[in-house]
Amino acid sequence: MKIKALLLVFAAALCINCTGPQQNSNSSSANNGDPNRKLKIGFAMDTLKEERWVRDKEAFEAACKKLGVEPVVTVADNKADKQANDVDNLLTQGVDALIIAPHDATQAASMVEKAKAKGVPVISYDRLINSDKIDLYISHQVPVIGRKIAEYALEKVPEGNYVMVYGAGTDNNAVIMKKEQLDVLKPAIDSGKIKIVADNFTPDWKPEEALKMAENALTQNKDDIQAFVVSNDGMAGGVVSALEKKGLAGKILVTGQDAALDGLQRIAQGTQTMTVYKPIVPLATQAVEAAIKLARKEPMNTVMFRNDVIGKDVPAILLEVTVVDKDNLMTTVIKDGYAKYEDVYKNVPEGQRPAKQ
């Protein structure tokens, strides 16, 4: 009996170094409690100042309701420090998984570290966090968006002066898109067919900053600009406002991204040339589905995405995107129910609207 007891003690000691799943003492009860307990999913958002992000919040909450999990949403109002506090609060509330749409891609890495220390899985949503500790990056195909915008501009305006209006420099999406846009435009730049006469990152993607940049570029170049390559619809609105003051709206190419309603309305009117349509419901839904799987330690299908800033690959789910212009408004955003016909053509005289399909 003494020998048997000693063997049991020895076996228990060996199990201290077993390589099976281990639980952090602070990890959520999803990992070590009732598997049928209602999960709590935290979503640390950066902003709701743009229509697109309101859609994300609504889609996220709807997906949580449908899938039977509890949503907890915070909004940082474009402030990195507030988002850090928001994440602390979400972790204190005991979320089972954390989704972050970062304000500052590099600063958000510390939020990932805090979550991982508590055993909470982290999803980088739409915008890529500069951390190889994230469990998933879910977004639309950001490099593809950058290329599609530049390819469209180059096809429609193969020669002339270009102004590049990038997003926030703290946002990895803006950095990725800039790289892809310049890669597409490089041959035309090198050959002298196009010339970039102004370019800049735009703090917090603010339309008013894009407006100022457009006004300065027009003044400095005596209105001799053929294309504004703009990285989202909010900033495109600022650029169009600058063009309207000069009587140039509709005469100069203006790109965008997000298929925001005001952007779609400008496309219908002819003052904005194109946008990139990124269906939000599938993005938010798949993010919630992934959060549930991560909380329950279930497998999922991903690809590896290279984060050039940190030189590391991270697991990713990347959704497809579509270019939208005046020619396909009816067969894309309206057909999909993303936007209503009456809303998109609100500012277009009835006699100039396409027939309903």
**Distance from C-alpha of 35 to C-alpha of 309, rounded to nearest angstrom:** 38
pLDDT score at 35: 62
Q: What is the pLDDT of residue 357?
A: 75
Q: What is the pLDDT of residue 302?
A: 97
With a cut of 70, list the residues of the chain below it in pLDDT. Answer: 1-35
List the domains of the chain with CATH numbers.
27-140+280-319 (3.40.50.2300), 142-277+322-352 (3.40.50.2300)
Using CA atoms of 301, 180, 272, 127 in order, give the dihedral in degrees to the nearest 10. 40
Residue 356's pLDDT is what? 87
Identify the pLDDT of residue 34. 63
Rounded CA-CA distance 88/115 in Å is: 9
d(CA 213, CA 341): 32
CA angle in degrees (0–180, nearest 5) for 236-261-215: 20
pTM for the model stands at: 0.83
SS3 for the chain, per residue?
CHHHHHHHHHHHHHHHHCCCCCCCCCCCCCCCCCCCCCCEEEEEECCCCCHHHHHHHHHHHHHHHHHCCEEEEEECCCCHHHHHHHHHHHHHCCCCEEEECCCCCCCCHHHHHHHHHCCCCEEEECCCCCCCCCCEEEEECHHHHHHHHHHHHHHHCCCEEEEEECCCCCCHHHHHHHHHHHHHHHHHHHHCCEEEEEEECCHHHCHHHHHHHHHHHHHHCCCCCCEEEECCHHHHHHHHHHHHHCCCCCCCEECCCCCCHHHHHHHHHCCCCEEEECCHHHHHHHHHHHHHHHHCCCCCCCEEEEECCCCEEEEEEEECCEEEECCCCHHHHHCCCCCCHHHHCCCCCHHHCCCCC
d(CA 304, CA 168): 25
Q: Which of 90, 137, 138 is nearest to 118 (CA)?
A: 90
Q: What is the pLDDT of residue 8?
A: 37
